Amino acid sequence: MASATAKVWDPLVRVFHWSLVASFAVAWLTADEVQSLHEWAGYAAAALIGFRLLYGLVGPRYARFSQFVRGPRTTVDYAADVLRRREKRYLGHNPLGALMVIALLVTMAAIATTGFMMTTDAYWGVDWVQEVHETLANLMLALVILHVLGVVFASLAHHENLVRSMITGRKRAAEAGDVA
């Protein structure tokens, strides 16, 4: 018998997620090759970040920052539970996942900001802006790798395919002991 599922990630969250993946991938791969495509990918990423910030305030339950952003104590306690392999399963983002969401959004916003700065007369050719932009892009790549590793770890720990849930929007329904 198939286990019950719950709708967690609405279509706009999923489209945002995969569109941001595509935008960052295009920007990363075209950085030194196709400047116009790189810039348009950056503009798309900036628009997506703007959308997600607004949607995090007014979107449905699991899209809202108020639903998943936790305080430092909760996040540290959750990390300690992960190390002890006794972390609770969250139907939405767990505290470490929430921290990663914020880190990814802030980093991408900073990349877009420095990228835009490089197109202005005031910052055209200014070395430190380009260095910060490239450093942030490298940080973003590192965060993406950590994000993917976290998804794999949580998928294995809780016996569910989190990548599939970001495609279908559905996760295994909350069970006793889960945080819904």
User: pTM, whole model, 2 decimals?
Assistant: 0.93
Q: Does residue 132 lie in a domain region?
A: yes
Q: Does 2 score more than 70 pLDDT?
A: no
Query: How confident is the model over 72-106, as pLDDT tens digits?
Result: 999 999 999 999 999 999 999 999 999 999 999 99
Q: Does 171 score more than 70 pLDDT?
A: yes
Share of the chain above pLDDT 90, in %: 95
pLDDT band at 3 (very low <50, low <70, confident <90, very high): confident
How many C-beta neighbours within 10 Å does residue 132 have?
Answer: 17
- When divided into structural domains, the chain yields a total of 1
Q: Does residue 179 lie in a domain region?
A: no
Q: Does 139 score more than 60 pLDDT?
A: yes
CB 30 within 8 A of CB 39: no
CB 122 within 8 A of CB 63: no
Q: Does residue 130 lie in a domain region?
A: yes
Q: Does residue 178 lie in a domain region?
A: no
- How far is 127 from 38, CA to CA, in rounded Å? 18
In this structure, the strands spanning 170-172 and 5-7 are antiparallel
> Residue 125 sits in which domain range?
5-167
Q: Does residue 176 lie in a domain region?
A: no
Q: Does residue 29 lie in a domain region?
A: yes
Q: Does residue 35 lie in a domain region?
A: yes
Q: Pick from 80, 104, 82: which is nearest to 158 by CA?
A: 82
Q: Does 115 score more than 70 pLDDT?
A: yes
- How far is 103 from 114, CA to CA, in rounded Å? 16
Q: Does residue 122 lie in a domain region?
A: yes
- Return the CATH number at 150: 1.20.950.20
Query: How confident is the model over 5-62, as pLDDT tens digits?
Result: 999 999 999 999 999 999 999 999 999 889 899 999 999 999 999 999 999 999 999 9
| Joined tokens for residue 151 | 């998804």
